[in-house]
C-alpha cells in the first residue's frame, strides 16, 4: 500500500511541476506511468483503481508532446495552447479518479477525520480547477483588463495551493500504518 501511494505521490508531483530546460525534466509521461504503476498495485484490493490505472496509461501516451514543447511559452500557436488547456483538463480527470480511489482507501482505514479531509479537499480541488479552466477557456477570446488579470492570478495561485494540498493528502494517507488496513493481500 505504502509503495503504491508513493508511486501516485511522485507521479502527481511530476505532472504538477514543469521544469523546462530544452525538454521537460519532470516529464509528464513518467508521472502518468508512476500513477499507472501505483494503481496497478492496488487494483486487486480496490476495483476503482482500474479506472485510475487506465487514465494513467492514456496520460502516458497523450502527454508525450509536452516533454518537447514548452507549454508555458506565451508565443505558442493556438494549437499548442489548446493542447495545453486539454492537458490541464486531463490532469483534472486524472486527479478525479485518484480522489475516487483515495476515498475508497480511507474508508478501509476507517479514520473519520481522514475521510472528511479527503472529501473536503476533493470538493475544493474540483471546484477551483473547474472554475480556473472555465476562466482560461473564455479569457482567450475576451479583451484583457486589470480585473481579469487579477482574477486569473488569484485562481492560478488557488490551483497551485490545491495541488500542493492534494500531494499532502496523499502523503497523509500514505503515513497510515499498513497494520491498520485489514487487507490480506500483498500490496
pLDDT digits (tens, 9 = 90+) for 146-173: 667 787 788 889 989 999 999 999 998 8
pLDDT for position 68: 80
Segment of 10-14, 69-73, 106-110 carrying the highest mean pLDDT: 10-14
pLDDT at site 180: 46
Q: Could you tell me if 181 and 109 are in contact, meaning their C-beta atoms sit under 8 angstroms apart?
A: yes
Mean pLDDT of 116-122: 92
Q: Indicate the SS3 state at residue 20.
A: strand
Question: What's the pLDDT tens digit per position in 27-69?
Answer: 888 999 999 999 999 888 888 999 999 999 999 999 888 888 7
pTM, two decimal places: 0.82
Classify residue 22 as exposed, middle or buried by CB count within 10 Å of its CB (0-12, 13-18, 19+): exposed
The pLDDT tens digits of the residues spanning 16-30 come to 887 767 777 778 889
d(CA 3, CA 86): 30
Report helix, strand or coil for 24.
strand
Say yes or no to pLDDT of 181 above 60.
no
Contact of 166 with 25, CB cutoff 8 Å: no
* Most confidently modeled range among 1-5, 85-89, 126-130: 126-130
Q: What are the residues facing 23 on neighbouring strands?
A: 21
* Closest residue by Cα to residue 23 from 71, 83, 61: 71
Amino acid at each position: 500500500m505504502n509503495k503504491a501511494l508513493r508511486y501516485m505521490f511522485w507521479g502527481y508531483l511530476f505532472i504538477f511541476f514543469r521544469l523546462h530546460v530544452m525538454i521537460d525534466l519532470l516529464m509528464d509521461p513518467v508521472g502518468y506511468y508512476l500513477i499507472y504503476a501505483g494503481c496497478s498495485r492496488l487494483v486487486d484490493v480496490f476495483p476503482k483503481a482500474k479506472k485510475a490505472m487506465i487514465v494513467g496509461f492514456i496520460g502516458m501516451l497523450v502527454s508525450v508532446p509536452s516533454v518537447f514543447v514548452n507549454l508555458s511559452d506565451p508565443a505558442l500557436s493556438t494549437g499548442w495552447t489548446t493542447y495545453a488547456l486539454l492537458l490541464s483538463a486531463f490532469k483534472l480527470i486524472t486527479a478525479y479518479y485518484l480522489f475516487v480511489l483515495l476515498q475508497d482507501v480511507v474508508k478501509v482505514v476507517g479514520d473519520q477525520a481522514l475521510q472528511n479531509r479527503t472529501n473536503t479537499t476533493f470538493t475544493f480541488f474540483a471546484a477551483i480547477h473547474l472554475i480556473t479552466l472555465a476562466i482560461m477557456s473564455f479569457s482567450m477570446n475576451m479583451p484583457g483588463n486589470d480585473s481579469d488579470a487579477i482574477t486569473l492570478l488569484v485562481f492560478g495561485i488557488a490551483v497551485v495551493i490545491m495541488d500542493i494540498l492534494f500531494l499532502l493528502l496523499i502523503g497523509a494517507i500514505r503515513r497510515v500504518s499498513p497494520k491498520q488496513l485489514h487487507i490480506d493481500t500483498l500490496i
